[in-house]
Chains A and B, each alone.
Chain A
Amino acid sequence: MSRLGRGLLATAALLAPFWLQNPYYLHVAIMAGIFAVLAMSLNLLLGYTGQLSLGHAAFFGIGAYTSALLTLQREWSFWLALPAAVALAGVAGWAIGRLALKLRGAYFVLVTISFAGVVSLVSVNWMELTNGPLGLPGIPVPTLGPWSLRSKTAYYYLVLAGAALSWLVCRRLVHSRIGRAFVALRENEPLAESVGVDGTRYLVIAAVVSAGMAGMAGSLYAHYTKFVSPEVFLFTYTVTMVIMVIAGGKGTLAGPVVGAVLFTALPEALREATSWQWQMLAYGVILLLLVFFLPSGIVPALSARRRTPTETPAPLPAAKGHAVGAASSPPPIAPTRAAGGGHAALPKRPAPAGARLQVRDLTVRFGGVAALGGVSFDVEPGTITSLIGPNGAGKTTAFNAITGYLTPTGGDVVFADGRLSGLRPCDVARRGVVRTFQKTSVFPALTVTDNVMIGLHLQGRAGLAGTIARRRRVQDEEAGLAAQAVDIIEFVGLTSRRDEVASALSYGELRLVELAVALAAAPRLLLLDEPAAGLTTAEKTAVSALIRAIREQGVTIFLVEHDMRLVMDVSDTVIVLNHGRVIARGAPAAVQADPEVIRAYLGGAGAA
């Protein structure tokens, strides 16, 4: 939306009581504002982290009851009860986030439904506190100094302020390190973890903020209707929120607001003609139709239409995993230039202190099969060390076990005097050990720059409070990160493509994006899993030049690769793995001449 459009809308919203003369219209506007807060809160989870909560009515209800009980029984002022409602709903969100830890998708949905179910049953059955199904009447109207906010106009402004605040919080979060972490988890959780994004932590943050906003909506609702009953937990509210978010456009800032206004006004307009049963039936059908015909929502559909054809990213099919053919993209990609020599320098960082990776007796069993049977080796600081071996030798298993994607059955992994075994992938990344993936793995819906910005996650420190308050320090940090991203993209030679969406890049370019994302995490040790698989000869040359250039920057490299020419070309040391055991190690030439290695690769009697 253009600046002018936003300004006009804001003015229209501010002046609404003057052009909406009819108090009934103003009532609809107030409800739309409350629902806008709810929809924005749900969107934070559903649209950005990708987790659907069908328990949002619980946070709304907790907010409403908290505010009602505090003002009725403790005679608190509304201005204290409102933050308390936000806080208590936030605590509930924290509990759900913590509880759901590793649950995603349908399981997360079920936990949220169940949570809402339990809360709703409590509200019906805990007579002493909630007055059960009869509800709590006579909730006081908020006052502001000497004025009571009894009039609809006054209350409208209160709700408008609440909605504006929510919008601001969402906006600042989304365009921040935290918001990028949310989206990273939605787009590609394993990759996000590999560059240090702590999935659990950010899901909890999203749940807390989202629940807190829903709690605020609950408080605003309670003091407007002056009555709460277990009906606030009705599933209908949750469904309405979901429809508003999906219809407006999940994962956009404006979408939920548009959805909320539309789906508050529309049913009210139809109310004369139809009963509420028809309304709910229509909701169900609308949801079905939306998924079939407008899956991304109104706001994205509108902005896509406005975009001129040249701006639309060319819908090149992203080759995922299918190496052959995809690599032969017509435009000669940048690394050819990079291969000519003279790499740009990586952003200025303290030179990584040399640290040795020690793998001792590493064992991984899948059922009865030992994928790794007690493997020991070192990766010396400052070297390029390659791990090779026939398919199924256990190379990727070793990578997974070192970087925390797999819990080893036995053995130890030590890096720079600290144990890596038992750490989560994001903590391994924090220690300076970053890996790439065998199958091309990027954040497909984001631009190259945003991909790299997520890679820079660990280089920033901005927390929740600083981000929402938009402190100077946080703004400076953002600018610094953006500058680093520019340098890193330059380093891998993708500058001309940095504003393209990753899914529009060629296969060869995607492999460079992967490298850039990993480099952004400032690794001391970089584990590359088949970085040259499926590339053309020219691209492979470029990649080996790039690998050397990365080492020049002081990064130790541990490489799994099938292309022997590349391996022999760049490596200082080669380790050969076969059937889960190390069968040889040493300088490339020595390993090439080793009879056991030859037997392992070419087969023959008595293969190890």
Chain B
Amino acid sequence: MNGLVLGGTYALLGIGLTLIFGLMNVVNFAHGEFYALGAYVAFAAVALAGLHFFLAIAVAIVAGVVLGGLCERVVLRPLRGESIDTVMLVMIGLWIAMQNTELLAWGGVAKSVPHPFPTAPLVLGPLSIAPLRLFVLVAAFVLIAGVHLLVHRTRLGRAMRATFQDADTAALMGVRIHRINTATFALGSGLAAAAGALLGPVFLVYPSMGDLASLKAFSVVILGGLGNLAGATAGGLLLGIAEELGAGYVSSGYRDAAGFVIIILVLLLRPSGLFARAERIG
């Protein structure tokens, strides 16, 4: 059950990254920093500004969207057409800069986000789950469903799918590629921030939390295949469950090794992802 909760948020992270990777061909090493940003904004909104918890999550998502859009506009757009390696270096730079800004702004001490849920576990038949975790799970799936609807049922989504297939042709057909890129990066960053805001109250909030989040997002994307939304959702759940099982049966010290091992194994054995035949956003 805990695996599912983790998996839901990993899926959010993975979907955001896979959209950016697949559509813009940007290896976004800063992705985890948007996750950390979401967590910190949620913390600030609840603990410092005294907002309600639900509102704080919304604020965090908005912050992720706005900052993501801004990053795309200022840093990535001038580099369009540069090689993927150059862009990768820039994203590494952004990652380090963002992480250390957080460190300077908030200090290195871990924070915890207060939340309004009772701590007594809900017992549903054989399952018992903390209400907070149940909420995280539900919220993650609502957001995932929302993204699927956005991509498959709206005009923006169609333009995104077209751009994913062939950006130049899409541009010739009148799709405003610049806008689509900005929207994609903003959406992906917003999803990462949402994941951070949701997991913030479950775990602690600290500056280097983004590193692990990036790693997990990459494992999810690699598991699911590039640009594959359904694959990322399934990959996220799979990783969450694999980690819980790994921590339970092997050793909790090696919990985070699951992500690394998955990346290495999948890339070696099935580079196109486990669900290569599954539906693609393109």
SS of A interface (majority): helix
* Cβ–Cβ contact B267 & A111, under 8 A: yes
Contact with A along B95-110 (1 / 0, CB 8 A): 1111111011000000
CB-based closest 5 A-B pairs: A284-B97, A284-B96, A287-B93, A281-B100, A114-B260
* Cβ–Cβ contact A287 & B218, under 8 A: no
* Cβ–Cβ contact B261 & A107, under 8 A: no
Name which of A98-106, A378-386, A485-493 contacts chain B: A98-106
Contact of B86 among A235, A239, A295 (CB under 8 A): A295
Contact of A288 among B93, B257, B260, B264 (CB under 8 A): B93
Smallest CB-CB separation from B25: which chain A residue?
A: A106
| Distance to closest chain B CB from A132 (angstroms) | 9
Contact with A along B64-103 (1 / 0, CB 8 A): 0000000000010011000011101110111111111101
Which residues does chain B contribute within 8 Å of A246, judged by CB atoms?
89
* Cβ–Cβ contact B260 & A117, under 8 A: yes
| Distance to closest chain A CB from B102 (angstroms) | 10
Known: A99-B268, A107-B271, A281-B101. A242 touches B253 (CB 8 A): no
Name which of A28-36, A118-126, A496-504 contacts chain B: A118-126
Which residues does chain A contribute within 8 Å of B267, judged by CB atoms?
103, 107, 110-111
| Distance to closest chain B CB from A52 (angstroms) | 7
Q: A277: CB under 8 A from chain B?
A: yes
* Cβ–Cβ contact A284 & B95, under 8 A: yes
Smallest CB-CB separation from A103: which chain B residue?
A: B267
SS of B interface (majority): helix
Chain A interface size range: 35 or more
Smallest CB-CB separation from B100: which chain A residue?
A: A281
Q: A278: CB under 8 A from chain B?
A: yes
Contact of B96 among A99, A113, A115, A287 (CB under 8 A): A287
Q: B119: CB under 8 A from chain A?
A: no
A187-243 residues at the B interface, CB under 8 angstroms: 235, 239, 242
- How far apart sit A280 and B97, CA to CA, in the bound complex (Å)? 7
| Distance to closest chain B CB from A603 (angstroms) | 28
Q: B215: CB under 8 A from chain A?
A: yes
Contact with A along B196-230 (1 / 0, CB 8 A): 00000000000000010001001000100000000
B246-282 residues at the A interface, CB under 8 angstroms: 251, 253-254, 256-257, 259-261, 263-264, 267-268, 271
Known: A107-B267, A117-B256. A281 touches B96 (CB 8 A): yes
* Cβ–Cβ contact A109 & B88, under 8 A: yes
* Cβ–Cβ contact A285 & B97, under 8 A: yes
| Distance to closest chain A CB from B228 (angstroms) | 16
- How far apart sit A54 and B27, CA to CA, in the bound complex (Å)? 13
* Cβ–Cβ contact A277 & B264, under 8 A: no
| Distance to closest chain B CB from A536 (angstroms) | 30
* Cβ–Cβ contact B215 & A106, under 8 A: no
* Cβ–Cβ contact B88 & A281, under 8 A: no
Contact of A110 among B84, B100, B263 (CB under 8 A): B263
* Cβ–Cβ contact A288 & B97, under 8 A: yes
Smallest CB-CB separation from B105: which chain A residue?
A: A277
Which residues does chain A contribute within 8 Å of B264, judged by CB atoms?
99, 111, 114-115, 118
Known: A277-B103, A295-B86. A239 touches B257 (CB 8 A): no
- How far apart sit A235 and B210, CA to CA, in the bound complex (Å)? 13
Q: A283: CB under 8 A from chain B?
A: yes
Q: A80: CB under 8 A from chain B?
A: no
- 11 example contacts (A-B, Cβ-Cβ < 8 A) are as follows A107-B267, A110-B218, A114-B263, A117-B259, A118-B264, A124-B253, A277-B103, A281-B104, A285-B97, A288-B90, A291-B79
| Distance to closest chain A CB from B97 (angstroms) | 3
